[in-house]
Structure 1
Amino acid sequence: MDEKLPLTKTYLFIIDVTLQHPRVELIDGSGRIAGGMDVELNVRVNENPEPLGGSIDISGGVSYMADEGKFFLTDPVVENFSVQGLAESIKPKVNKAIEKALSEYFSKNPIYTLKKTDLKQAAAYAVLKNVSVEGKDLVVVLGI
């Protein structure tokens, strides 16, 4: 993920959202992965907008595409976000823009791709069939 960030997109014609510095952990008992990113918002409501910095915490499921050796975050949900100086009146629009940015990003960008040029990862690619989160463990199903 870190290789594909920062990512900047414009939403609702006035909000530029930049996502960067990802962090990831497994959530005990949820079947989901938790993660966070730093967020920079540039809301164009006047001539000289200043970027607003903050952070976002998200969660999502994990899926594995065996034919491509790629791991994806599924069903991302914004658990918490805070942005310094963001007016309460526009938080719902910003939250919507962030969720859209996350959905678009994670639908196209894997959280990890096995490297076929690495001997150990190539071996995993050959036998790895499925991945899920159980407790604080990543459960891996292997098969031939």
Structure 2
Amino acid sequence: MRAIKLGMPIFLILLSFFFLIASINLPKANLGNPNGPLYFPVGLSVFMLVFSVVYLFQEWKNLDVHNEDIKLLLKGRTPKLIALTVLYGAVYAFIFERIGFLFSTILFLGALLFTVNGKKYVVNVIVAISFSFLSWYAFSILLGVSLP
């Protein structure tokens, strides 16, 4: 139980250090303030680091308190859903550039909906296609954002 309670804050601290280092290594701007592109990602990384350290101290302070929520999280189909969602996200990131936003999003949402909702074929397909198409329409047509 101790590894579960302290694992997430430690992971977040390491992740925030990674983002901080990557943010500091961003190239300088050619026009205007040369450090302009650094302010937001560095600030966000520092913000995440501070709150992750606070989170670690809170979890460290409450190590002896038994948390039933963690036990419930590890029961039933929840671990399977978490693992499949991470897997679907990785596949989505891999196919996004190759087949484009619209089709990859339809596949991602469809897989996720079938995993969570089960065999509600009509609802899952309608939601996956309509949400993907409306998102594409909003970004590509209305906002003029170029999507792959």
* Bucket of the pairwise TM-score, normalised by the shorter protein: under 0.3
Structure number with the higher strand fraction is 1
Structure number with greater Rg is: 2
Structure number with the higher helix fraction is 2
- Ranked by relative contact order (alpha carbons within 8 Å, sequence separation 6 or more), the top structure is 1
TM-score by length of 1: 0.24
